[in-house]
Amino acid sequence: MDGNGRWAKRRGLPRTAGHTAGEETLATVVREAARRNVGWLTVFGFSTENWVRPPSEVRHILGLHRKLFGRIDELNANNVRVRWIGRPFDEPGSRTPAPIQKAIRDAIRDTSHNTGMVLTVAFDYGSRAEIARAARLAAVDAASSGGTISPTAIARHLYDPELPPVDVLVRTSGETRISNFLLWQARQARVFFTDAAWPDFGADELDAALALVS
């Protein structure tokens, strides 16, 4: 979801205003994707690298994520089930603050009965860290069982082994490169590039991305 800061700068607004607009765009995209019977929508909310941003910007983004996970009534109204991927809270290196941890757990619990689209939020997430951790755990298994470190063994130890392969990877704001996002899961994905900054991403862009696999 790139381009929040650039979107704000073009309008003479602080970067935080771009993040606020981006959070509202995400709510809109979730509704539109659910209406189109998308099965799984995974969004890169906050990366392991984002902690180096200015503290005031990080605090603002954290507040927006707490608000996002708190939209329980809206998520339930759209039959959306929440999941999360990122550095496990109880493992070394995790930096997710306790209030965000609680918001994530509450959202997962309070939407678990829904049967529609699965919204997975990647928070404190980095794909290389995910793969390295999975390979390390697969190596422990192999050492104890005499097996081998296979792709299947690594996949079993990803943050969410049930997350399906990515069909379409969306890059906004004119970015024409992939990010440190779902590198394992997106190995055969189509990639949709758009010049629209994330706050300007709407139904038309969503439909164009979905058309790549229709």
d(CA 107, CA 81): 8
Report the C-alpha gap between 148 and 84 in whole angstroms. Answer: 29
Task: Quote the pLDDT of residue 148.
Answer: 83
* 188 contacts 18 by C-beta, under 8 angstroms: no
Other Cβ atoms less than 10 A from the Cβ of 62: the count is 17
pLDDT at residue 146, as a whole number: 79
Tell me, yes or no, if 2 is annotated catalytic: yes
113-130 pLDDT tens trace: 999 999 999 999 999 999
Q: What is the pTM of this model?
A: 0.94
Q: Give Cα 68 distance to the centre of its chain.
A: 12
* Amino acid 87: pLDDT: 96
Q: Which of 50, 76, 106, 200 is catalytic?
A: 50
Q: What residues of the chain score a pLDDT lower than 50? A: none
The pLDDT value recorded for residue 195 is 96
